[in-house]
Amino acid sequence: MSSDDTYPLLDTIETPEQLRRLPAEDLPQLAGELRRFLIRSVARTGGHLSAGLGTVELAIALHYVYDTPEDRLIWDVGHQSYPHKILTGRRRLMPTLRQLGGLSGFPKRSESPYDSFGTGHSSTSISAALGMALAARQEGSGRRVAAVIGDGAMTGGMAFEALNHAGDLKADMLVILNDNEMSISPNVGGMHNYLARILSGKFYSTMRDGSKSVLSMVPPVWELARKAEEHMKGMVIPGTLFEELGFNYIGPIDGHDLPTLITTLRNLRERGEPQFLHVMTRKGKGYPPAEENPTCYHGVTAFDPDTGEIHATPGAPTYTELFGDWICEMAERDQRVVGITPAMCEGSGLVEFARRFPERYFDVGIAEQHAVTLAAGMACDGLKPVVAIYSTFLQRAYDQLIHDVALQNLPVLFAIDRAGLVGRDGPTHAGSFDLSFLRSVPNLVIMAPADGNELRRMLYTGFLHDGPAAVRYPRGSGPEVEMEQEMRELVIGKGRLCREGRRVALIAFGSMVAPALQAAEQLDASVVNMRFIKPLDRPLLLDMARHHDLLVTIEENVVAGGAGSAVNECLLRCGMEIPLLNLGLPDRFVEHGGHGELLAQCGLDAHGIIESVRARLQE
What type of residue is 379? A
| φ, ψ of residue 277 in degrees (nearest 5) | -110, 120
Rounded CA separation 290/298 (Å): 8
Helix 258-269 / helix 56-65 crossing angle, nearest 10 deg = 40
Catalytic one among 57, 368, 555, 556? Answer: 368
Q: Give SS3 for 366.
A: coil
Cα–Cα distances (Å) from 561 to 199, 428, 433, 493, in that order, read 55, 20, 9, 19
Of residues 122, 64, 282, 288, the one with CA closest to residue 189: 282
Known catalytic residue: 283? yes
SS (H, E, C) 97-150: CCCCCCCCCCCCCCCCCCCCCCCCCCCCHHHHHHHHHHHHHHHCCCCCEEEEEE
Task: Please name the residues in contact with 95: beta carbons below 8 A apart, sequence gap of 6 or more.
Answer: 41, 44, 45, 102
Helix 219-236 / helix 186-199 crossing angle, nearest 10 deg = 150
The sign of the CA dihedral 379, 439, 609, 571 is negative
Rounded CA separation 107/515 (Å): 33
The answer to whether the beta carbons of residues 468 and 445 sit under 8 Å apart is yes
The answer to whether the beta carbons of residues 46 and 424 sit under 8 Å apart is yes
Q: Residue 483: how many CB atoms within 10 A of its CB?
A: 14
Beta strands 504-508; 550-558: pairing state? parallel
Residue 484 burial by CB count (10 A; 0-12/13-18/19+): exposed, middle or buried?
exposed
Q: Where are the beta strands (DSSP E) in 140-217?
A: 145-150, 174-179
Catalytic one among 36, 90, 144, 283? Answer: 283
Rounded CA separation 593/429 (Å): 12
Catalytic one among 285, 384, 396, 531? Answer: 396
DSSP letter at 303? Answer: B
For residue 580, how many C-alpha atoms fall within 13 Å in the half-sphere facing its CB? Answer: 22
The answer to whether the beta carbons of residues 51 and 297 sit under 8 Å apart is no
Of residues 251, 106, 254, the one with CA closest to residue 185: 254
Known catalytic residue: 611? no
Rounded CA separation 158/173 (Å): 17
Rounded CA separation 567/541 (Å): 8
Q: Residue 340: how many CB atoms within 10 A of its CB?
A: 24
DSSP letter at 502? Answer: S
Is the bond preceding residue 535 a cis peptide, omega within 30 degrees?
A: yes
Catalytic residue ranges = 283, 368, 396
